[in-house]
Amino acid sequence: RPDLLDHVLVAAVHSPSDLLSLLSRAQYHLSHPSRSPHPLPIRVILLDSIASLFRADFDASPADLKRRSGLFFKISAKLKELAHRHQCVVVVTNQVVDVVEGTTGNTVAWSSGRQVSPALGLAWANCVNTRLFLTREVDSNGGSARRHMKVAFAPHLPVRTCEFVIRRDGVFGVEPAQR
């Protein structure tokens, strides 16, 4: 529908504490819909990207890693509570980092010919219920992009991959015969 984006609320956060404050406000609006300035219920919470909140402000010192992990658990618990209590969907994107030879990471995968791993490592991986890995490969002749979504982790789903395309009229799966 042309007015679909009229019902999308966007809020910028620049730190983990900003995010926790925003999630508290979302909790209030979800719990008291009649007092909310927004007439429609919240159905999807999209956080893009969780890694951007943590990559610059924390050192690799044991104290900072402990503080960062504590914030991961606090944020993920709040997101899970919102999803469960208010029947909304929560999608959180992470970034990937290149895997350097000799290093180990969790869920190493290939993307654009590079070996990559989730940016926030094992501490964030323990906060996630379902992990989907999206990749995009562009043909060498500059043609269309091939996109794949892989179920990398989900206790209730098998590991599977599907191909999809993004067009002006939406997101569509690609049938195996069309590949």
Q: Report pLDDT digits (tens) over 67-123.
A: 888 999 999 999 999 999 988 899 999 988 888 776 555 666 777 777 888 888 888
Q: How confident is the model at residue 6 (pLDDT cuts 50, 70, 90)?
A: low
Q: How confident is the model at residue 178 (pLDDT cuts 50, 70, 90)?
A: low
Contact assessment for residue 52 and residue 97, using Cβ atoms and an 8 Å cutoff:
no
Provide the CA 31 distance to its chain's centre, in angstroms. 24
The residues spanned by each domain of the chain are 4-129, 130-178
Q: How confident is the model at residue 145 (pLDDT cuts 50, 70, 90)?
A: confident
Tokens of 176: 């195996």
Helix and strand totals (H; E) in the chain: 3, 9
What is the rounded distance in angstroms from the CA atom of residue 127 to the CA atom of residue 168?
34
Residue 146: the pLDDT is 80
pLDDT at residue 150 is higher than 60: yes
Residue 83: the pLDDT is 92
Contact assessment for residue 148 and residue 171, using Cβ atoms and an 8 Å cutoff:
no
Phi, psi of 106 (to 5 degrees): -95, 140
Q: How confident is the model at residue 22 (pLDDT cuts 50, 70, 90)?
A: very high
Tokens of 7: 């019902």
Strands (E), the chain: 44-47, 89-92, 96-98, 109-111, 114-118, 131-138, 145-153, 161-167, 170-173
What is the rounded distance in angstroms from the CA atom of residue 13 to the CA atom of residue 108?
29
pLDDT at residue 168 is higher than 70: yes
Mean pLDDT of the chain: 83
Beta bridge partners of 161: 150
pLDDT at residue 173 is higher than 70: yes
In terms of pLDDT, which residue wins out, 114 or 45? 45
pLDDT at residue 142 is higher than 70: no
pTM of the predicted model, to two decimals?
0.80
Beta bridge partners of 98: 116
What is the rounded distance in angstroms from the CA atom of residue 22 to the CA atom of residue 47?
11
- What percentage of residues in the chain have a pLDDT greater than 90? 28
Burial 76-105 (b: 16+ CB within 10 A, else e): bebbeebbeebebebebebebbebeeeeeb
Q: Across residues 149-154, what is the average pLDDT?
A: 90
Give the CB-side neighbour count of residue 24, counting CA atoms within 13 A: 7
CATH superfamily of 4-129: P-loop containing nucleotide triphosphate hydrolases (3.40.50.300)
Q: How confident is the model at residue 31 (pLDDT cuts 50, 70, 90)?
A: confident
